[in-house]
Amino acid sequence: MKKRSSGILMHISSLEGKFGIGSIGEEAYKFVDFLVKAGQKYWQILPLGHTSYGDSPYQCFSAFAGNPHFIDLDILVDDGLLSIEDYINEDFGASEEKVDYGLIFEKRNKILKTAYKNFKNKNLNRHESFEYERFKNENSFWLDDYSDYMAIKETFDLVSWKEWDEDIRNREEKALRKYRKELKDEIEYYKFIQFLFVKQWKELKDYANYNGIEIIGDLPIYVAEDSADMWSNPKMFKVDENNNPKVVAGCPPDAFAITGQLWGNPIYDWEAMDKDNYKWWISRIRESFKLYDMIRIDHFRGFESYWEIPYGDETAVNGKWVKGPGIKLFNAIKKELGDLNIIAEDLGFMTDEVIEFRDETGFPGMKVLQFGFGGEDSTDLPHNYVKNSIAYTGTHDNETIMGWVNTMATKEEKEKALAYLNVKNLDDSYDFIREIWGSVSFLAIATMQDLLNLGSEARMNIPSVLGGNWQWRIKKDQLTDELAKKLKDLTKLYGRI
């Protein structure tokens, strides 16, 4: 039986600090310390991937590579790869509460290339040289394609591989040899920054684990069209003779989006994946558990059936439901990797078949309290929860609790929330946190924004809206001892310590 516990959802980008975006440095370690003081067990984050245009952690250049934005610059000084003068006078953005991704990309890329130059000129000792070469060898199955992709992408002004010259777009052997020779140093740079990312991340994870904190990672079901995965292995997806996607992913029309959601991700050719016993997926899950203690698989229902939209459509209206691999995929993963700590993101339109599939895997599903006040007797209300579930105040796609109360909730929803929570006013998201902490779900998670009682200004993402998302950052000095004690007392009260 899983022990009752709780945790906080906050992405690395949302940490405070001096580099314009949260990093795997001092502030990340301080957040671990805060979680310990607050009696928490879990730190949940969003995907750590190398983000592409739009800055969404769910649209990345690789299913395996880490985000260079999160590499901590002060640690590189300690490692002898930078001097403080290399970045002390750089402008990383006017606001300490919002990430300016365009500026961050420009500044950090320049600084990391300085670190790479210093690395090449550094006399590495035997251990340092062995560590770097071992990293490259152990990760070559994804690192080589990713590094090729990013270096070539730079020569084509960062456009998608679909706009490259035909020979390299189609990975003709002569073209590959040419670019690998011409871009040898640039390719090595991308291997180097992945080495830095993994080294810093694993040190942070070790620190968290040593202090009793486990990290919940997030695994997007799909990869981006503009990715090394699709360029290097297009036959893994449903493509035509020119390797263009035939269909893309999304969600059908509903009350929240009348034309549905058009995500645009290529869809896997599950029949082809079945023929090699889902080798790519097994590798992806295996690598994920090197980075995290537990993973949430996004859009889990897509493994049972998914919404398939004709490529080129401007909305999701003309899509259709298509059967996915179902339990066969997860049986293959379990046979290879054993029992795993996986959370099934089972939000959205759920059929009996999807529920049966989730239950067959044994993975816990998600319950989001914010969704609970709109129907007669919602399964998102705590009296309907089951032990094998994760209770949330909201997710990265939701309004904050206070934002929902003030801008989205109907009069009827507010009245139901008042009665259900047994409060006189809906002015404190802590009342919602108390409700899920007291539920039977073995794990309860609150967003950092809800713990701080913040409004719409702190919302992380508005689905299907490009721009203005993923920017929120915590303010300096908001992680107080008083806040930690308040949360620890609640956690102890409901038996989650």
Domains of the chain: 1-217+461-497 (3.20.20.80)
Res 40 pLDDT > 60:
yes
Tokens of 409: 């909730």
pTM: 0.96
CA distance 226 to 448: 31
At 57 the pLDDT is 95
Catalytic hit among 308, 345, 346, 399: 345
Res 130 pLDDT > 70:
yes
Tokens of 419: 């009665």
3-state class (DSSP) for residue 174: helix
More confident call, 71 vs 52? 71
| Mean pLDDT for the stretch of residues 257-266 | 89
3-state class (DSSP) for residue 497: coil
3-state class (DSSP) for residue 186: helix
CA distance 226 to 169: 12
Catalytic hit among 298, 304, 399, 435: 298
Strand order in the sheet with 261-266: 261-266, 247-251, 305-310, 320-323
- The verdict on whether 397 is a catalytic residue reads yes
At 393 the pLDDT is 97
Please provide the average confidence, as pLDDT, over all residues in the chain. Answer: 95
| Mean pLDDT for the stretch of residues 337-348 | 94
CA distance 464 to 443: 29
3-state class (DSSP) for residue 61: coil
Q: Is 435 left (phi over 0), alpha (psi -120 to 50) or beta?
A: alpha
Res 347 pLDDT > 90:
no
CA atoms within 13 A on the CB side of 363: 26
- The verdict on whether 91 is a catalytic residue reads no
| Mean pLDDT for the stretch of residues 437-464 | 96
Query: Residue 353: pLDDT band by 50, 70, 90 thresholds?
Result: very high
pLDDT tens digit sequence for 213-253: 999 999 999 999 999 999 999 999 999 998 999 999 998 98
At 127 the pLDDT is 85
CA distance 242 to 239: 8
Query: Strand 443-447 vs strand 389-392: parallel, antiparallel, or unpaired?
Result: parallel
At 349 the pLDDT is 74
First to last CA, the chain: 15
Query: Residue 123: pLDDT band by 50, 70, 90 thresholds?
Result: confident
Query: Residue 376: pLDDT band by 50, 70, 90 thresholds?
Result: confident
The amino acid sitting at 289 is F
pLDDT tens digit sequence for 417-450: 999 999 999 999 999 999 999 999 999 999 999 9
Beta bridge pairs of residue 321: 307
Query: Strand 305-310 vs strand 320-323: parallel, antiparallel, or unpaired?
Result: antiparallel
The CA–CA distances, whole Å, from 334 to 161, 281, 328 equal 34, 11, 10
Res 1 pLDDT > 70:
no
Q: Name, in order, each residue with C-beta under 8 angstroms of 281's C-beta and a sequence gap of 6 or more.
A: 273, 329, 332, 333
Helix (H) or strand (E) holding 74: helix 73-78
Say how far residue 241 (Cα) sits from the centre of its chain.
32
pLDDT tens digit sequence for 76-92: 999 999 999 999 999 99
CA distance 243 to 304: 25
Query: Residue 340: pLDDT band by 50, 70, 90 thresholds?
Result: very high
At 179 the pLDDT is 98
